Chain A
């Protein structure tokens, strides 16, 4: 392969500069600001501020409310990741086997991905509306008096359903292309060795899909933690009350709506740490089990 040579040693850095500038301005600089303001209690208009050390962190970690939101976020993330990955995989495996009309089938599944999260939340909210939601009426047939916005569990259920529904197409696309990347020769060889389709899937197809699955796992965890914000916002209709919310939504409520800059900065620093730990864990422990070739 031919190596690209730069005539001047500074030129490559010059090419890197725009990207670095973007990362610096939109990521590092705000992060440093967040860390800094997490140690202060500040009047939002910037007139007075007092240094409070770790008080903001202490207040958050001592709050039973924050801990219960963190607990919900963990369960929510686990459920959404699990169901959106497994359902996406199931649909992809089935779609892979379809020969006639496969593109129509795929388009129908993929198109859901084009829906923006708040719109998905809005559609979900209509389905689960207390007074006219079809899902609520359906649940009532089984004696389940579903009360979204009133009952903690019911709202959590609706949030998980809508978040999973929104994410399935994304997983579907990647799993499907992963499946189609598995060489026919490998499949045929496997078919000669083993009659059970289920066993072939577990021992041959799934390990070959592992890099895709790992990538999707990382993406889905991030999705559940952060990108579900719009869904949560619409589902609780701006009023969290006693409904379940995620940690990101709590940052928004305290910082953007409550103007508590110190407290919400401390929360976002805690979130950054969580994401950092999660990323290290994923790459150190999970990626080792993934074979790329």
Chain B
């Protein structure tokens, strides 16, 4: 009820002004603070670089709010040209056949060449159709990486772990040296979704959900995933791992204060961390299990992509294609990468930043890209699951219960699989 009202209000309050002779296009996004400012700067650069199109970015609040606003606007025929949609919402927009013009088609129709291989491997498939065609244009992308407190490692006389086995071996020493060995910030993204990608294990049936929405089922009762959480629980009981709840910052804070040896955060965290951390820090890849065969593949991208909404004139679509082309040019990618801490998504931009010596100055900025450039695995491309934001909420709830001792790991995953599959089944019906 409230939603409908706000949808109508949003649609009504928005009307593009056309004071220029140029074709106006709009871009709704869900970024605030510094990242929102950078979006405005990118738009200014685009508008300054050419005169045929005028791009207006509009902040719609958070990722979820931007998606909800875009949906409401679409239903009333007032959709923006470009909508930013976050990773977990990808299935919602991609499965709504006809809501978007695939980015690849749009760019080709505008007469540009499109080379999928220009993008780094971890970015290529996540927002693409089952056949690999780009539906969304990857935009702000990040990877879960492990931040290191070098002081702690030195005091304990150990090296940063590459695998969880190595972590298990050094955890007692880190604890003895007076540190909390391990903290993370988002169990769903870092220890579930990317557990599947880094260890190359199937997440859901139907090719991780890419092939069809019908009968797609989660495979979260995979014995390896259960083993991971059994370990986390055991480590937590031993004092090798500490869980501060589902809030990102509650978990980041002890690392900033120098009380933690290893923290799993986002590749984009380093910019903020430079301001808040009380000690020097470095970073490396998210660990995997050495014992799992085929593990060590690249992670999924986190973040969001840009979608060209349908129902717009050819003229406007051409402008959107121009902008996508502009956005993926090496110079703009490099600018965006350096201004925000998100990874560069094209090989060319990465090479450019490297040639400039950016990573000598900021070695942590390279870790996420390198992790996304690791080997492709069969199950490291992505997942396409409907109602996924709600499935994440179920996971968060059950994970909280694991660490507060209200449930066992096995029961938690049984519940997640059962309730998650019910949601997937419901989602399949919405498309019917």
Residues of A at the B interface (CB closer than 8 Å) are 26, 30-31, 33-34, 41-50, 52, 59, 65, 130-131, 147-152, 237-243, 253-260, 262-264, 268
Whether the Cβ atoms of B96 and A44 lie closer than 8 Å is yes
Mark interface residues in B49-77 (1 if CB within 8 Å of A CB, else 0): 00000000000000011011001001100
Report if B389 contacts A (CB, 8 A).
yes
When the two chains form the complex, which single residue of A48, A237, A256 contacts B430, counting CB atoms closer than 8 Å?
Answer: A48
Whether the Cβ atoms of B68 and A259 lie closer than 8 Å is yes
Whether the Cβ atoms of A34 and B1 lie closer than 8 Å is yes
A-B pairs, top 4 by smallest CB distance, nearest first, are: A242-B400, A241-B246, A149-B245, A239-B246
Whether the Cβ atoms of A260 and B387 lie closer than 8 Å is yes
CB distance from A205 to the nearest CB of B (A): 40
CB distance from B82 to the nearest CB of A (A): 16
Whether the Cβ atoms of B397 and A242 lie closer than 8 Å is yes
Whether the Cβ atoms of A254 and B390 lie closer than 8 Å is yes
Mark interface residues in B77-105 (1 if CB within 8 Å of A CB, else 0): 00000000000010011011111000000
Q: How far is the CA of A49 from the CA of B67 in the complex (A)?
A: 19
Whether the Cβ atoms of B403 and A240 lie closer than 8 Å is no
CB distance from A123 to the nearest CB of B (A): 17
CB distance from B411 to the nearest CB of A (A): 13
Given contacts A30-B4, A47-B99, A149-B247, contact A242 B406 (CB under 8 A): yes
Whether the Cβ atoms of B430 and A41 lie closer than 8 Å is yes
Report if B401 contacts A (CB, 8 A).
yes
Report if B5 contacts A (CB, 8 A).
yes
Q: How far is the CA of A240 from the CA of B396 in the complex (A)?
A: 8
Whether the Cβ atoms of B430 and A242 lie closer than 8 Å is no
Whether the Cβ atoms of A45 and B71 lie closer than 8 Å is yes
Q: Which residues of A contact B89 (CB under 8 A)?
A: 259
14 other contacts beyond A242-B396, A242-B406, A257-B64, with CB at 8 A cut-off?
A47-B99, A48-B432, A131-B254, A131-B257, A149-B245, A149-B247, A150-B400, A238-B247, A242-B401, A255-B3, A258-B389, A259-B71, A260-B426, A263-B426
Given contacts A33-B4, A151-B404, contact A44 B71 (CB under 8 A): yes
Q: Which residues of A contact B397 (CB under 8 A)?
A: 65, 240-242
Whether the Cβ atoms of B387 and A256 lie closer than 8 Å is no
Q: How far is the CA of A50 from the CA of B97 in the complex (A)?
A: 16
**Nearest B residue to A149 by beta-carbon distance?**
B245
Q: How far is the CA of A145 from the CA of B393 in the complex (A)?
A: 26
Whether the Cβ atoms of A48 and B431 lie closer than 8 Å is yes
Whether the Cβ atoms of B429 and A50 lie closer than 8 Å is yes
When the two chains form the complex, which single residue of A26, A31, A43, A256 contacts B3, counting CB atoms closer than 8 Å?
Answer: A256
Residues of B79-136 whose CB lies within 8 A of A? 89, 92-93, 95-99
Whether the Cβ atoms of A149 and B99 lie closer than 8 Å is no
Whether the Cβ atoms of B403 and A150 lie closer than 8 Å is yes
Q: How far is the CA of A148 from the CA of B249 in the complex (A)?
A: 13
Report if B378 contacts A (CB, 8 A).
no
CB distance from A247 to the nearest CB of B (A): 13
**Nearest A residue to B253 by beta-carbon distance?**
A131
Q: How far is the CA of A44 from the CA of B422 in the complex (A)?
A: 18
Q: How far is the CA of A208 from the CA of B278 in the complex (A)?
A: 61
Report if B244 contacts A (CB, 8 A).
yes
Report if B399 contacts A (CB, 8 A).
yes
Residues of B at the A interface (CB closer than 8 Å) are 1, 3-5, 64-65, 67-68, 71, 74-75, 89, 92-93, 95-99, 243-247, 249-250, 253-254, 257, 387, 389-390, 393, 396-401, 403-404, 406, 419, 422-423, 426, 429-432
Q: Which residues of A contact B423 (CB under 8 A)?
A: 260
Given contacts A241-B399, A256-B68, contact A47 B97 (CB under 8 A): yes
Q: How far is the CA of A185 from the CA of B398 in the complex (A)?
A: 62
Q: How far is the CA of A238 from the CA of B96 in the complex (A)?
A: 26
Q: How far is the CA of A30 from the CA of B2 in the complex (A)?
A: 8
**Nearest A residue to B67 by beta-carbon distance?**
A259
CB distance from A169 to the nearest CB of B (A): 26
Given contacts A150-B244, A258-B390, contact A242 B404 (CB under 8 A): yes
When the two chains form the complex, which single residue of B99, B387, B390, B419 contacts A45, counting CB atoms closer than 8 Å?
Answer: B99
Q: Which of A48, A240, A264 has the most CB of B within 10 A?
A: A48
Given contacts A30-B4, A44-B92, A240-B393, contact A150 B404 (CB under 8 A): yes
Q: Which residues of B contact A243 (CB under 8 A)?
A: 246, 400
Whether the Cβ atoms of A253 and B390 lie closer than 8 Å is yes
**Nearest B residue to A243 by beta-carbon distance?**
B400
CB distance from A155 to the nearest CB of B (A): 9
CB distance from A146 to the nearest CB of B (A): 12
**Nearest B residue to A260 by beta-carbon distance?**
B387
When the two chains form the complex, which single residue of A31, A52, A148, A257 contacts B389, counting CB atoms closer than 8 Å?
Answer: A257
Whether the Cβ atoms of B250 and A49 lie closer than 8 Å is no
Q: Which of A34, A48, A52, A257 has the most CB of B within 10 A?
A: A257
Whether the Cβ atoms of B396 and A47 lie closer than 8 Å is no
When the two chains form the complex, which single residue of A41, A43, A148, A264 contacts B95, counting CB atoms closer than 8 Å?
Answer: A43
Whether the Cβ atoms of B244 and A149 lie closer than 8 Å is yes
CB distance from A261 to the nearest CB of B (A): 8
Whether the Cβ atoms of A147 and B245 lie closer than 8 Å is yes
Whether the Cβ atoms of A41 and B426 lie closer than 8 Å is yes
Q: How far is the CA of A190 from the CA of B257 in the complex (A)?
A: 63
Q: How far is the CA of A239 from the CA of B89 in the complex (A)?
A: 16
CB distance from B193 to the nearest CB of A (A): 16
Q: Which residues of B contact A257 (CB under 8 A)?
A: 64, 68, 389-390
Q: How far is the CA of A33 from the CA of B75 in the complex (A)?
A: 14
**Nearest B residue to A40 by beta-carbon distance?**
B430
Q: Which residues of B contact A150 (CB under 8 A)?
A: 243-245, 400, 403-404
CB distance from A34 to the nearest CB of B (A): 5
Q: Which of A46, A47, A52, A259 has the most CB of B within 10 A?
A: A259
Q: Which residues of A contact B253 (CB under 8 A)?
A: 131
Q: Which residues of B contact A263 (CB under 8 A)?
A: 426
CB distance from B264 to the nearest CB of A (A): 16
CB distance from B98 to the nearest CB of A (A): 6
**Nearest A residue to B93 by beta-carbon distance?**
A45
When the two chains form the complex, which single residue of A34, A48, A241 contacts B396, counting CB atoms closer than 8 Å?
Answer: A241
Q: Which residues of A contact B68 (CB under 8 A)?
A: 256-257, 259
Whether the Cβ atoms of A59 and B422 lie closer than 8 Å is yes
Q: How far is the CA of A130 from the CA of B111 in the complex (A)?
A: 55
When the two chains form the complex, which single residue of A30, A47, A256, A258 contacts B96, counting CB atoms closer than 8 Å?
Answer: A47
CB distance from A265 to the nearest CB of B (A): 8
When the two chains form the complex, which single residue of B243, B247, B393 contacts A253, counting CB atoms closer than 8 Å?
Answer: B393
Sample (20) of A-B pairs whose CB atoms are under 8 Å apart: A34-B4, A41-B429, A41-B430, A42-B430, A45-B75, A46-B75, A48-B430, A59-B426, A65-B419, A130-B250, A148-B245, A239-B246, A241-B246, A242-B396, A242-B397, A242-B406, A253-B393, A257-B389, A259-B67, A259-B389
